[in-house]
A = this chain, B = another copy of it.
Amino acid sequence: MTHAFDAAVATRPGDGGSVAAVHPGWGNMVGPFGGITAATVAAEIARHAEATGRLAALTVNFLAPLGDGEWELDARPARTNRSNQHWIVTASQGGSAVLTATAVTAADREAWERTEAEMPAVPDPQSVAPARIPFPLPWLEHYEMRFVSGPVPLAPSEVGGDSESVLWLRHIDPRPWDAPGIVAASDAFFPRVFRRLGPQVPAGTVTLTTYVHATAAELASEDAFVLLRATASRYSRGMFDQRGEVWGRGGALLATTHQLVYFKAPRT
């Protein structure tokens, strides 16, 4: 049986591109979970006949919320070099542009290796309780989140003095990690503004960039649980940046990510 994730990122051939369909099982506040849309782009590139290498960088711009039903996406290699390949992706729904994206795939070259970022010191996922987030958002049903710190504040008293969250995350229905899966995980942080002002604040990702540092083999050998850490640098003029890391259980930095988020909250 097809995993719910793979069902959601599937496409079929269309006229001059591919046809995707918004999966009702992955709904978010407005339209589908952005992570599954970004994962669809990553998966579309991976299965393209001309694709070489593994996903190294992906930027997805969310031009408008996707409505129910089908949407068209067109992924094209813009240039193929010896050690990398550049992609450009456009998507539309009902004739209106809804998404643009660029990506870099790369050959795995042997080179000097180091990790400088430090994995947060955290308890084992088994010793952290799974979160119960009582929001009627279908996409949340696909992940188990165990917050080490910075949970979604469900009462005003739980609102924090900063935006950081650290959590263990796994697919409820097990699925090996791959680039589309990590891309989706890199957007699985709730909007940082919720930490500061509560989850009633309207917010949505405008643009998401994820760098995948791990090879395909490294991802496939990872444990079911990955550790996510997210912060914000500045809230300014109705937007903020959200910076994140995705860590393997054994301490490998699988991905780093950066997104710009729109939000509405009165000046205080």
What are the residues of chain B within 8 A of A232 when measuring CB–CB? 116
Q: How large is the interface on A (under 10, 10 to 19, 20 to 34, 35 or more residues)?
A: 35 or more
Please pick, from B63, B162, B197, B238, the residue contacting A79 in the complex, using a CB distance under 8 A. Answer: B63
Query: Chain B's nearest CB lies how many Å from the CB of A101?
Result: 8
- A188 close to chain B: CB less than 8 A: no
A237 in contact with B109 given A97-B79, A102-B207 (CB within 8 Å): yes
Query: Chain B's nearest CB lies how many Å from the CB of A218?
Result: 9
Interface centre among A115, A214, A231, A234 (most CB of B within 10 A): A234
- A142 close to chain B: CB less than 8 A: no
What are the residues of chain B within 8 A of A64 when measuring CB–CB? 79, 81
Q: Is the CB of A83 within 8 A of B238?
A: yes
Q: Is the CB of A266 within 8 A of B115?
A: no
- A186 close to chain B: CB less than 8 A: no
A136-177 at interface with B (beta carbon < 8 Å): 162-163
A100-155 at interface with B (beta carbon < 8 Å): 100-102, 104, 106, 108-117
Within the assembled complex, what's the spacing in Å between the Cα atoms of A243 and B233? 12
Q: Is the CB of B256 within 8 A of A117?
A: no
A209 in contact with B206 given A102-B61, A245-B233 (CB within 8 Å): no
- A84 close to chain B: CB less than 8 A: yes
Name A's B-contacting residues (CB within 8 A): 56-57, 59, 61, 63-64, 78-79, 81, 83-84, 86, 88, 90, 96-98, 100-102, 104, 106, 108-117, 162-163, 193, 196-197, 206-207, 209, 211, 213-215, 231-239, 241, 243, 245, 253, 256, 258, 260, 262-268
Nearest first, the 9 A-B pairs at minimum CB distance are: A109-B238, A111-B238, A117-B233, A63-B79, A112-B265, A59-B59, A213-B236, A234-B253, A258-B258
